[in-house]
Amino acid sequence: MADIACSELILGGQRSGKSRRAELLALDWLAVAPGHRAVMVATGQAWDEEMRERIARHQADRAVRVPGMLTVEEPLALADAVRRHSDGHTLVLVDCLTLWLTNQMMPADPVLALGESAVITAGEDLCAAITSATGPVVLVGNEIGLGVIPMGREVRTFVDALGRLNQQVAAACERVTLMVAGLPLTLKGNT
pLDDT band at 1 (very low <50, low <70, confident <90, very high): very low
* Residue in 165, 19, 50 with CA at minimum distance from that of residue 105: 165
For the cut 50, the answer to whether the pLDDT of residue 58 exceeds it is: yes
How far does the chain reach from its first CA to its final CA, in angstroms? 12
Q: DSSP secondary-structure letter at 9?
A: E
Residues present in the chain in total: 191
Nearest to 171 by CA among 5, 9, 4: 9
Q: Residue ranges of the domains in the chain?
A: 7-188
| Listed range (11-15, 45-49, 80-84, 85-89) with the worst mean pLDDT | 45-49
pTM for the full predicted model: 0.93
Residues annotated as catalytic (active site), given as ranges? 58
Cα gap 99→139, rounded to integer Å: 12
Q: What is the pLDDT of residues 122-156, one digit of tens each?
A: 999 999 999 999 999 999 999 998 887 778 888 89
CA-CA distance, 56 to 51, in Å (whole number)?
8
**What are 59-80's pLDDT values in tens digits?**
898 889 999 899 999 999 999 9
Sign of CA dihedral 46, 48, 52, 53: negative
Domain 7-188: assigned CATH number: 3.40.50.300
Helix (H, G, I), strand (E, B) or coil at 72: strand
